Amino acid sequence: MKPIITSSEYMSESTGQRPPVLLDIRWQLGGPDGRADYEAGHIPGAVYVDLDTELAGPAGGGGRHPLPDPEAFGAVMRRAGVGGATPVVVYDGGQGWAAARAWWLLRWAGHQDVRVLDGGLAGWPGELTTTVPEPAEGDFRPQPGGLGLLDADAAAGLARSGLLLDARAAERYRGDVEPIDRVGGHIPGAVSAPTTENVDDKGYFLPAPSLASRFAELGAEAGTEVGVYCGSGVSGAHQVLALELAGHRAALYAGSWSEWSSDESRPVAAGPNPS
C-alpha cells in the first residue's frame, strides 16, 4: 500500500464504506504542543495526538523521543478510535515529520493500513472545524516488529556494512552547528541525506522516480541494507517513508543523534565526508 494519500483521495474515502480514522499530529521542535492550533481549527473528524507525550516515552537515555511503551501507545490509539483493521490517515501542519512519526509507530506496531496526508494541513483545500470528535473505542493492539528498528550498536554496524543515512540538515551533519545536542557531527560512516530534500517547495513528496534517483545517488541499491537516523527519531521517520515510496524498506535508529551523542564513549565524525 502506498504510504501517502492526497487530500482528494482522503475526501473520497471519508464518505465511503470504510472511512479512515484521522489523526492530527501538529508539532514543532522546541515549541508548545499543537493542541491550541488543533482547537482553533482542524480537518473535520480529526483526533489530536501529542507527539511529545503520546508518540514518545520520557526523554532520557534513549534520546529526546524514545519509543513509547507499546501498551501505552496502544491505549492512545484505541482512545483515538484506531482499530486493528481500521484505515488510518495522519497529518500535521505541513512539514510531514510529525505525521511520519505517527505513521512509522503504527506500522512498527503492526498496523497495516496507515497513510500520511501529503502536504498536510497546509495543503488541505476543505473547511476546518473546531468540533472535537468523540470516537468509539478502537481495538488496536500493538505487535511491535512491523518495521525495522536499530539500536546504537546496530546503527554503527550498518554504517560499515550497508548504508546509514543521516536525515538532519547538512550543517548539523558536518558539525558546523549543533543547536540541540551535546556535540555536533555524525555517526562515522553515515551519509548525509537531509529530509528536506524529499519534498518540493510546498511540502509535497517528490514523485517516486525522483526519490528513487535521489537515494540511488546516495548508495541505496537493490540488496543494500538501509538505515536512517536524525536528531531524535522524528524527521528520520519521514526519510523511512520517502525510502518506501522509492522502493526501499529501511530501518530507523529511533534514539538517533540525541542518544548517540549523549554517550561520550561513542565516536563522532565531523566534516562533509562519511568517515
> Do 190 and 159 contact (CB within 8 A), yes or no?
yes
Question: Is residue 65 located within the same domain as residue 168?
Answer: no
Those residues whose C-beta lies under 8 Å from the C-beta of residue 144, and which sit 6 or more positions away, are 70, 108, 109, 110
Among 52, 111, 119, CA closest to 85: 111
| Higher pLDDT, residue 223 or 1 | 223
114 and 78 in one domain? yes
What pLDDT, on the 0 to 100 scale, is given for residue 31? Answer: 79
Q: Is the dihedral of CA 76, 135, 5, 16 positive or negative?
A: positive
Question: So what's the pLDDT on residue 56?
Answer: 96
**166 in the same domain as 233:** yes
Judge contact between 138 and 166, C-beta under 8 A. Answer: no
pLDDT at 4 over 80: yes
What is the distance of C-alpha 3 from the center of its chain? 12
Question: What is the domain range of residue 184?
Answer: 149-260
Q: Residues 156-164: what's their mean pLDDT?
A: 98
* Same domain membership, residue 156 and residue 119: no
* Domain shared by 110 and 183, yes or no: no
Confidence of residue 29 (pLDDT cuts 50, 70, 90): confident
Q: Are residues 104 and 11 in the same domain?
A: yes
Residues 113 and 161 in one domain: no
Mean pLDDT over residues 56-76, rounded?
94
Is 178 a domain residue?
Answer: yes
Distance CA 66, CA 123 (A): 30
Together in a domain, 109 and 179: no
The rounded percent of the chain whose pLDDT value lies above 90 is 93
Active site residues: 230
Tell me, yes or no, whether 60 lies in a domain.
yes
Number of structural domains (the chain) is 2
27-31, 133-137, 259-263: least confidently modelled range: 27-31
Q: Round to whole Å and give the CA distance between 63 and 68.
A: 12
What pLDDT is attached to residue 195?
97
Q: Does 192 reside within a domain? A: yes
Closest CA to 166 of 189, 150, 147, 148: 189
Q: Residue 54 CB: number of other CB atoms within 10 A?
A: 20
pLDDT-derived band at 15 (thresholds 50, 70, 90) equals very high
- Average pLDDT value for residue range 45-64: 94
pTM above 0.85, yes or no: yes
Residue 1's pLDDT is 82
Cell of 52: 511529545
129 in any annotated domain: no
64 confidence band (pLDDT: 50, 70, 90): very high
Q: Whole-angstrom Cα distance, residue 163 to residue 188? A: 11
Is 134 inside a domain boundary? no
- Average pLDDT of every residue of the chain: 96
Please report the beta strands in the chain, taking only residues with DSSP state E, as ranges in sequence order. 4-5, 21-24, 47-48, 88-91, 114-117, 149-150, 163-166, 191-192, 226-229, 250-253
Question: Domain holding 10: CATH number?
Answer: 3.40.250.10
Question: How many whole angstroms separate alpha carbon 5 and alpha carbon 120?
Answer: 10
Residue in the structure block whose three cell numbers are 537493490: 222
**Residues 81 and 119 occupy one common structural domain:** yes
**Which pLDDT belongs to residue 20?**
98
For residue 270, tell me if it sits in a domain. no
Same domain? 119 vs 155: no
User: Containing H/E element for 268?
Assistant: none
Of 88, 123, 158, at which residue does a domain stop?
123
Q: How far apart are CA 196 and CA 176, in angstroms?
A: 18
How high is the pLDDT of residue 81? 98
Q: Please tell me whether residues 110 and 192 are part of one structural domain.
A: no
Q: Please, which pLDDT band fits residue 123 given cuts at 50, 70 and 90?
A: very high
Considering the domain boundaries, does residue 266 fall inside one?
no
Assess whether 209 and 115 both reside in one domain. Answer: no
d(CA 46, CA 218): 37
DSSP code at position 15: T
In a domain? residue 169: yes
pLDDT tens for residues 179-200? 999 999 999 999 999 999 999 9
Residue 30 pLDDT exceeds 80: no
pLDDT per residue over 162-182, tens digit each?
Answer: 999 999 999 999 999 999 999
Q: What integer pLDDT is reported at residue 104 of this predicted model?
A: 98
CA distances to 5, 20, 85, 129, 145 from 11, rounded to whole Å, are 10, 10, 20, 15, 31
Tens digits of per-residue pLDDT, 32-53?
A: 899 999 999 999 999 999 999 9
